[in-house]
Amino acid sequence: MEAILLEKIRSAADAKKEKVFQIEKTIWDNPETGYREWKTSAYLQGLYREMDFTPVPAGNIPGFYCDLDTGKPGPMIALIGELDAILCPEHPSADPATGAVHACGHHAQSAALAGAASVLKDPEILERLSGKIRFISVPAEELIEIEYREELRKKGTIRYFGGKVEFLYRGFFDGVSAVVMLHTGGGRKSFSLSPGSLGCLLKKIEFTGKASHAGATPHLGINALYAANMALNAINSIRETFRDEDHIRVHPIITTAPGAVNVIPGRVTMESYVRGATLQAIKAANRQVNRALAGAAASMGASVMISDRPGYMPLDNDRNLYTLSKKIMTSIAGDENVRERGQVDKGSTDMGDISCVIPSIHPSGSGAKGTGHGINYVIDDPYSACLLAAEYLAAAAASLLENNALEALRVSAERKLKFNSFQDYFNAIDSLNADCDAVGYHDDGSITIKLP
């Protein structure tokens, strides 16, 4: 991009830094988990209104978007900031009532996005651009509190667990040609890029046995905890069959513990992800996991209800947006402070879903210290986490939309997407939904196994 434009962006961002740092602090002090970010969403909408934007709220869930029209024809691009916190009750800054804390740095993303919005509104910058910019504050990136989200789904409040997927479904990404976000990362005054990240499928598992007196009549019981334990062993036993290049990760947890020590546990619930590099690999590993679950239940005479839900699709960062981002990052932080990780990240994000249908980029910034999702995570360098992030976001938008939006049009023309339409993508993820009572017991003594 033109050096003079980047200079203008950087000095406009610098002029807003106190405000941006204050936003970071305010959201840090008010953490809320996914689809509960009402305070955060209201606070940010107020800020955008102060900047003369007209927020369009999602309505029955938190989150909103604001549009900035350059007044000249051209494509629309979107910049994203995430709203939600995670749960880490042991963190010293966790909300004592809920255990929520911004130990993934999404609060800094929201501060950066607001900073970028105020920068791009600057008339001297805006007059050089064409098309539109949509600033989207999305809820619910972290795929947690599944029971709560399942409740929202059953009530019809949401259709999808991931906020970006839900926003896509609601049409908030309609007409968007490219999507840019920057996740907060560790280090100082640096950026990093990767080709993408793993996708995941989400599982809820319920073993049902039969409760009974543990001392007097264990022979009348069926131990659901032992069935779950065998399922964990069976899953561990198939790990060596996973191929390295598929990056399969299965990490089940027991979510409902049995009640009393003198009762044979009659019901145990588990949750798990099956992560992988491609949807095909995830589906194949999931079949193996389901077989392990059903086999474990059958060996005990227990039942197992397997509920599969779409998690997140693998992220494919767009090559043109990658190159453009690398250039901007180098201009902001210097060549030595831009790291290309080369391998896909092993986490999962609903930006993966967006990248299936719209050219997208999800790199990392810096400014955080400690372990992500851990008890020692803090933003110790707000300048990097918020201000440099705002500069990157604003510069990415400006690079795409300067010169009659030449770059945005190129990104769009050369796009390589997994799905040809939003509908094809939704059909693919909807087909992952399954609820299956996997083991059937029959009067003649035979057992049938049915997998989702």
| Residue ranges that bind Zn ion, judged by CB under 5 A | 104
How are beta strands 176-180 and 76-82 bridged, if at all?
Answer: parallel
Q: Find the shortest distance in angstroms from Cβ 362 to Zn ion.
A: 10
Least distance to Zn ion from the beta carbon of 150, Å? Answer: 20
C-beta of 103 vs 152, nearer to Zn ion:
103
Q: CB of residue 404 vs Zn ion: minimum separation in angstroms?
A: 35
Would you say 296 or 368 has its CB closer to Zn ion?
Answer: 368
- Residue whose Cβ sits closest to Zn ion: 104
- Report, in Å, the least distance between residue 103 CB and Zn ion: 8
User: Of the two residues 104 and 179, which places its CB atom closer to Zn ion in the complex?
Assistant: 104
Residues in the chain, how many? 452
Q: Which is nearer to Zn ion, 104 or 211 (CB)?
A: 104
Least Å distance, CB 67 to Zn ion, is 25
CB of 349: closest distance to Zn ion in angstroms? 7
Distance CA 137, CA 78 (A): 10
Q: Is the dihedral of CA 86, 88, 89, 91 positive or negative?
A: negative
In the bound state with Zn ion, the residue whose beta carbon lies nearer, of 276 and 365, is: 365
Nearer to Zn ion, 222 or 313 (CB): 313
Measured on CA atoms in the order 349, 352, 358, 363, is the torsion positive or negative? positive
